Amino acid sequence: MKLFSRLVLLLVLSLLPVRGLCFDKGQVAVFTPEKIYSLDVRLAKTPEEWRQGLLDSGDLKEDQGLFFIFPREGVYTFTTKGLKFPIDIILINKETRIVGIFEYAAGDKYYAFPLPVFTALEVRAGFCRKKGIKIGDLVKPKGFGLRPGATARPKQEEKKGVEKRLKENLERHPDDPMVYEELAVFYTLSGQDKKAVEIFKEVLKLGITAPRLNGLGVALAKLGDLEKAEKYFKKAIKEAPLFYGSYNNLARLYLQREELSEATALFQEAITLYPHYLEAYMGLTGLYLRTGDLRAAEILIKEAKENGLNAPEIIRLSGNIYLRQGRYENAANCYLEYLKARPHDEQATDLRAFILVHKIRPRQISP
């Protein structure tokens, strides 16, 4: 069981300004059930542009914004440190659908979002509430393309070139925490966890933040040092009590150690802090299925759907519950629906085939 394959690793964006950048311009359209809103945006496509963000701009007009484009879908953390006015931060996945919103983000704060995003849109504070923009709405570029998405893990053939560029960047900017974090995240995502530990420890010398503590915990957990990982996840929670990704990571650590009551409480706390937290719903539902508490699992999935979580993974979990309940037709239908979005999931394919061959068809042909 790869309990740590879903550990939440967070990259902090916009930490230090880079003066004199010239951003490309474009337009995006925000689609709500009632209306389409068009905005003129700066395009932030490089680490330097991500760090600069809106630090050198005045307050945004209602039809203006900053559009982040990342090289791959992944988990990111934003900060409004140094920003002179509040903003709304809209998080968007690879399917161009809004998966999270931070309203009235301001001050020297970090905004940790635990789900994978591919782009992000920063707009004037109050824009989302005024226009009725909600999770599930669409945000699409107008007149420019997005770079093809990829998995968060770098491909093998890309690793050497990326590592070389990041190391050279570190030599040029030895006091820039963002550069250390980029390298540490690269090492974690590419499976070089010992190197990730070393870099996270270095960047923590430049300043203690919850994302850095969490990142070090992730790398240590992947190395199997659960005792030290636990310590850093707890430190991250103490440093930022609303940093729900660390609650999820610590819960998964306890789950691996069979400390199920502690894991349950932490998953529940993560969901309380962020009711749209897919990873925590997945972890807690899996825990309930593991302990045979099918009723609790069913209630939790219903809660997730009521909170607007209609991700394929929720459909798959519904199939798992139906399978355990002996409701085989329902389970097979859920797996079929899930596989439309995740066609390469071999386990779900095998489960559906098993149900059709051994559970449904024998009953159909029995005398």
* DSSP-assigned letters across all residues of 199-226: HHHHHHHT---HHHHHHHHHHHHHTT-H
User: What pLDDT score does 34 carry?
Assistant: 85
CB within 8 A of 16, min separation 6: which ones?
A: 51, 176, 177, 178
CB within 8 A of 6, min separation 6: which ones?
A: 252, 279, 282, 283
pLDDT tens by residue, 254-290? 999 999 999 999 999 999 987 878 889 999 999 999 9
How many Cα atoms sit within 13 Å of 177 on the Cβ side?
Answer: 18
Whose structure tokens read 């395009």? 43
DSSP 167-201: HHHHHH-TT-HHHHHHHHHHHHHTT-HHHHHHHHH
Per-residue pLDDT band for 47 (boundaries 50, 70, 90) equals confident
pLDDT tens by residue, 343-367? 888 888 998 888 888 777 655 444 4
Q: Which fold has domain 3-142?
A: Jelly Rolls (2.60.120)
Per-residue pLDDT band for 48 (boundaries 50, 70, 90) equals confident
pLDDT tens by residue, 134-146? 888 899 888 665 5
Please report, for the chain, the start and end positions of each structural domain, with discontinuous segments joined by +. 3-142
pLDDT at 116 over 50: yes
Percent with pLDDT over 90 in the chain = 43
User: What pLDDT score does 10 carry?
Assistant: 55
Coil, strand, or helix at residue 53? coil
User: What pLDDT score does 131 carry?
Assistant: 92
Whose structure tokens read 């919103």? 101
Q: Which residues face 31 on adjacent strands?
A: 36, 138
pLDDT at 152 over 50: no
Average pLDDT score, the chain: 83
Query: pTM value?
Result: 0.67
User: What pLDDT score does 289 carry?
Assistant: 95
pLDDT at 162 over 70: yes
Mean pLDDT of 34-45: 90
